[in-house]
Structure 1
């Protein structure tokens, strides 16, 4: 029977399906699979070689948008133009660095008829790497000790406090495990050049890394929680394969986080399980992870559930998911034409 429901037009960022992928393509797959109605996907891209731009069976049309550093006013100006062309109903941003602008613009977007489903600025700031240890202390969650530094000389104090190895982290992304002062200094310069100040230096926690994808309703309820253990990790630390787990302790940590923060939207907890079965929260990523399509495959389609809640539709919490579901990422040479590259480069849309 033909679906006669009105088409939804949803804009999605994070189309960089590369070796360190953004979540956008996985989010789109979830939306197309789980919304049971026609969906038109508008890609929002920063770079002209983001693969999703050219994947026309996945993304219907793409527009370039200004880099986050250009500020919220420039972003709003561009979104107004796109909205005039496309009549957007929902935007799902998928990069940490862009969320501040989208959170700031959320009320204005709502007045334009464009829904979002994002954490508040307070929620976003509280889980920031810079504030993570204080956040853990406040809510009774286990978090590694850290120091936030702005000068390379401060690495000496980190060495005294944590010993080696220690972890040097960029403000937004990237982490380097340093075993010597020389390695720590090299990581400091590299991450400052890429992401700016400050740098976070964290004590090293030995254990098994586990990731948890979470969808919160903004009222303290976890709509979906899916834990995953990485089976294959790239040299950039990204999961190239992973498997869903059954573990009440992991579910409890995720539920405690949502209840403590009233988290709204998708997020990912990066957990380290020690030999003593301690669960340390290493990072809290304030958006869907790149492996988010695994939640749909396991029976809890988080992107589709977020879209329904953003649009004011009822979304009861999920209660079950399939354990032992595996994802394996792979590379694929996508072929396009120079005309398309020139169009997105010159016109800013394709």
Structure 2
């Protein structure tokens, strides 16, 4: 059946200005890092992408190596564009990145002009697009001059293959230097994409200040701490504490850690939220970030997470309570 977007989609989302630019980002963005690759059923991926747009999520975040296999998430998105979203292209903000390993040989990763521009051409081909809205350098390259990497981003804009540029995983000092170079090249830094959650607050130690000074926005990935800030993870901890056969690291399943996650869940329940929704509300609090990128494996997760924008902000007392709980909790992978 042909797809027609929900007429009320823009009534269901909040949009935040990205730094000092003319761009507004939805508070919730959809990332295609996992569960959209060629190893997943296309119809489920299609349903998640179109549901997100129906909920007012206009920002779709990709990278050249998303899959698996690498590149297949962009191919999946390209199929959905062709089948469903082509009439809505000007309503969408589509991003991709380059910098992590993508193909063999000396030009298949990092930050050379050769790698970045070749990768962008490949991404456009996979998605069937003439341009992306934001092209990111995915990670800093310690061996390539920053001027070369930033020059490649600026060239992508001048060539009409990207409208804006961004950085991901850059620290404060490199971000400031990169922003200065981009400004000189006439292509201002639009946005930075860092890992940020209750469990990982590194951007508060200098990066946020740099972004404010440079007039750039921020889009947080892993706002749910790679799944740790969900009710599912709390249940997993409790089950593992009673089991002799454990799949989690021993340091994750301690009485203190389980108690802290239970307290977080209790705060969320008191607010009428799931733990995941509260984690998104926290990341989007005043002084947080412009948008958060959610991942999903099913439509219901997108619906649950998008609903967080309609829930009340955390009070000063609740923020203090969360800070007290989070002290020493540690960011320990599954």
Relative to the length of structure 1, the TM-score reads 0.32
Higher strand share: 1
Relative to the length of structure 2, the TM-score reads 0.33
Higher helix share: 2
